[in-house]
Amino acid sequence: MKCFLFCRAALAFSVMVSYGHQAPSADFPKADATALPIQAKIHTGVSSDWLAIGFGSVWVSVPKSDEIVRINPANNTIQARIKAPGEPCYGIGIGTTYVWVLTCKSQMLSRIRPQDNVIDRMNSVRIAPHGEGSIAVEDDTVWFIGNENGRSSQLYKIRDLKTEITEVGADSAVVNTGFVSIWVTSSGESQIYRVDPNTLKVIARIKVPAKPRFTTVGEDSVWVLSQSDGSVSRIDPAHNKVVATIQPGARGEGGDIAYGGGYVWVSAAGTPLTRIDPKSNKVLEQYGNYKGADAVRFGFGSVWISDHGTGDVWRIDPNRLALH
């Protein structure tokens, strides 16, 4: 889903950097979640969770019913329900040819053919059973965090049937791609690891606020949501440095961050949607007072949010956000 971009010069440097300058705190417009311009609510099951965009569809994991649900954005209907082999508890990976899913109970990596919505291959893996991690895929090379050592500090690279492993930080979970690199969040070390996808060498460790978890790539930057204080760190990959720390206050377990439509979107418990302007590094608006929302993605001209509480997926029209 994320593409490698051009930033090869930075690969030669292995550095440790501290926090960048924090953007000055300021008030921003806030409203209740009921003010969100929701175009559609698609009911996916007991508790909708992770989201992904790809192959002309929105993909949703429903761990409690062991399903991956595929939504057709043309008419906001469910196109397919794909039975996963036991609790799809990590993010959904979108590759060039396949969709990839990790399952916690069965400890499997499953490959889905989007042509017919069939799981055509499963590999046994060892991952942390609590979930809250993600898969990165680039040209159907799959990257995720393994837990063979009990520390969730092993970055796995799987292509075809070949597996390579390298050590990263303790309590790592989320993996992303961009700028000819693999980016890994180490919640245990409060660092972002940057890894060369070819040599598997760690080429940078970047310090961010405590308990970083989710990342997205956009506007020539890597964006990191830290669960400890709900801050968003903006990393300049050309210098492996945090250049802004934005304070939307989206703290707590769960949550998500995504880029699309020229903005950075954040979701967290209690605050389903926050919009950040990457041109100014400022929060434009925030919608709160709703605990059920969790994952967020941008696609097909819309913002998509999964609602744990109702099992719905919300489709939001970003052009009708009225606070800014």
Contacts of 231 (CB under 8 A, 6+ apart): 209, 225, 245, 246, 247, 248
Mean local confidence (pLDDT), 282-300: 94
- Name the CATH topology of 8-320: Methylamine Dehydrogenase; Chain H (2.130.10)
Residue 234 has pLDDT above 70, yes or no: yes
Domain boundaries, the chain: 8-320
Q: What is the pLDDT of residue 288?
A: 94
Q: Average pLDDT of the chain?
A: 90
The three-class DSSP label of residue 262 is: coil
First CA to last CA distance, the chain: 29
| pTM of the predicted model as reported, rounded to 2 decimal places | 0.91
DSSP 270: B
> Two tokens at 182?
């693999």
Mean pLDDT of the 200-220 span: 97
Residue 7 has pLDDT above 80, yes or no: no
Least confident of 140-149, 205-214, 278-287, 315-324: 315-324
The helix/strand count (H/E) of the chain reads as 0, 30
Strand 172-178 relative to strand 263-268: parallel, antiparallel, unpaired?
A: unpaired
Confidence of residue 21 (pLDDT cuts 50, 70, 90): very low
Q: What is the mean pLDDT of residues 110-132?
A: 93
For residue 20, is pLDDT > 50?
Answer: no
DSSP string, 85-154: SS-EEEEEEE-SS-EEEEETTTTEEEEEETTTTEEEEEEE----TT-----EEETTEEEEEE-TTSSS-E
DSSP symbol at 33: G
Average pLDDT over residues 16-30: 54
pLDDT at 24 over 90: no
Inter-residue contact 290 to 33 (CB < 8 Å): yes
| 43, pLDDT greater than 50 | yes
Report helix, strand or coil for 318: helix
Q: What is the pLDDT of residue 6?
A: 28
Q: How far apart are CA 304 and CA 72, in angstroms?
A: 13
Q: Report the pLDDT averaged over residues 190-202.
A: 98
**Amino acid 160: pLDDT:** 87
pLDDT at 1: 31
Residue 235 has pLDDT above 80, yes or no: yes
Q: What's the whole-number mean pLDDT along residues 200-205?
A: 98
In the block, tokens 């796995």 appear at: 156
Q: Please determine, for residue 4, whether its predicted confidence score (pLDDT) is greater than 90.
A: no
The pLDDT score that the predictor gives to residue 197 is 97
Q: What is the pLDDT of residue 324?
A: 64
Judged against a pLDDT cut of 50, whether residue 72 lies above it is answered with yes
Q: Does the pLDDT at position 17 exceed 70? A: no
* 294-319: average pLDDT: 96
